[in-house]
Each structure stands twice: as C-alpha cells, then as structure tokens.
Amino acid sequence: MDVKIEEIQFNRDGLVPAIVQESKTKEVLMLAYMNEASLRKTIETKKTWFWSRSRGQLWNKGESSGHFQHVKSIKYDCDGDTLLVEVDQVGVACHTGEKNCFFKDLMKADEEKNIDITILEKVYNVIKDRKENPKEGSYTNYLFEKGIDKILKKVGEENAEVIIAAKNPEKEELVYEASDLMYHLFVLLNEREIPLEEIYKELAKRTK
C-alpha cells in the first residue's frame, strides 16, 4: 500500500477527513477523522483506525462491535487534504445498525433516476444466502435441491425466451426475460461456487 504521508495536509488540529467506501460496491459507508498516528496504524494493521474528537483518543473501528473494516486501498485527493479509504466491511458501518451512516434524506433523487447500481451484487448475494441458509418454499432452494441438471435446463429455457422476446417489438418483454436469464445464471454461478468478482475480472479484460 503506497501512501505518502508527507503529502497529506492535516488541518490545524492535526486531522484529515477520511471517507470510507465499500471496495466492491463503491457504497460510501461513513466519514471520520484520522491524525498521523491513526493513519500509520491503519496502514500497519490494514484495519481502520481513527481519532475520536469527543474522547480525545485513537479508536479502532469494529473493536467493540466486531464490524471491522479491512483496508484494501487508501487514496488522497488533489489537494492532499481528504482521504478515500476503500474497505471490505464486516457487518454494518453505522453504530445505529444501518449499513452506512448516510441513511437520512435531505433531498431525494427523482424516483426514475434513483437506480441501484449494486443490484446485481445484491441479487447474487441473496441467492448465495439461500444456498447457505435454505428457506422453506424458496424457488431458489428448489433449484439447488434439484441440482446442476435442473439449473442448466432452466438457463437453457430462459436463453430461448430471451431470443423469442428479442424478436418482438415490445422491449419490456425482453427486459423481463433478460432479468430471468441473469437470475438463473447467478444460480448457476453459485452452484459452481464462482464469485461475481471473477466475472468482473474477465469483463474488465474486454474493456482494454
């Protein structure tokens, strides 16, 4: 991890704001402050350490809750006075029990523009959870119980449905069938224990 501490511009109190972001989804989790000592401990331990302005001491995120933040990278902005810390978050980031600290709306985005760009990850993780924690009456669990042949059959059927829908003028049908295909494909990936990260890496190769 290459962090040039001498280039960080700490304020008059010796602090710098640190924005913490989930490394996979890019969800902003929280904002806290670091001094030089906590920044060095963060780099050394690869877990987030901050300076508590109210208690006047260092604190390790997750020390009491178990909701540690495993640091993947630390970046700083063009002026060197703000840090961006990318982490793998264990559990939730907010002391209230919310996933992140930014759950109160001051102004909401227009509904049609408020698209969840992490939805693929969420669908994949729901399917993964069904596999690990079966739920009675779940269609996903039904597929896992029937096994790979049933899952492959459904992927093939949904693929055919996408082809048929693409021949029709109404795009809504294609959107619906494409979503069905992606869901069953995610079931297949879970069955074969292939994480989405491997798909992302393969797709990234195709952008070069």
pTM for the full predicted model: 0.61
36 C-beta neighbours (distance < 10 Å), count:
15
- 83-97: pLDDT as tens digits: 999 999 999 999 999
Predicted confidence band of residue 102 (pLDDT cuts 50, 70, 90): very high
Residue partners of 146: CB distance under 8 A and separation at least 6: none
Domains and CATH numbers, the chain: 5-89 (3.10.20.810), 114-203 (1.10.287.1080)
pLDDT of 25:
83
197 C-beta neighbours (distance < 10 Å), count:
10
- Could you tell me which residue, 175 or 105, shows the higher pLDDT? 175
How high does pLDDT run on average in the chain? Answer: 92
- 162-197: pLDDT as tens digits: 999 999 988 999 999 999 999 999 999 999 999 998
- 27-38: pLDDT as tens digits: 999 999 999 999
182 phi and psi angles, rounded to 5 deg: -65, -40
What whole-number percentage of the chain has pLDDT above 90?
A: 81
Most confident of the ranges 89-103, 115-129, 141-155 = 141-155
Residue 65 pLDDT exceeds 70:
yes
pLDDT of 207:
87
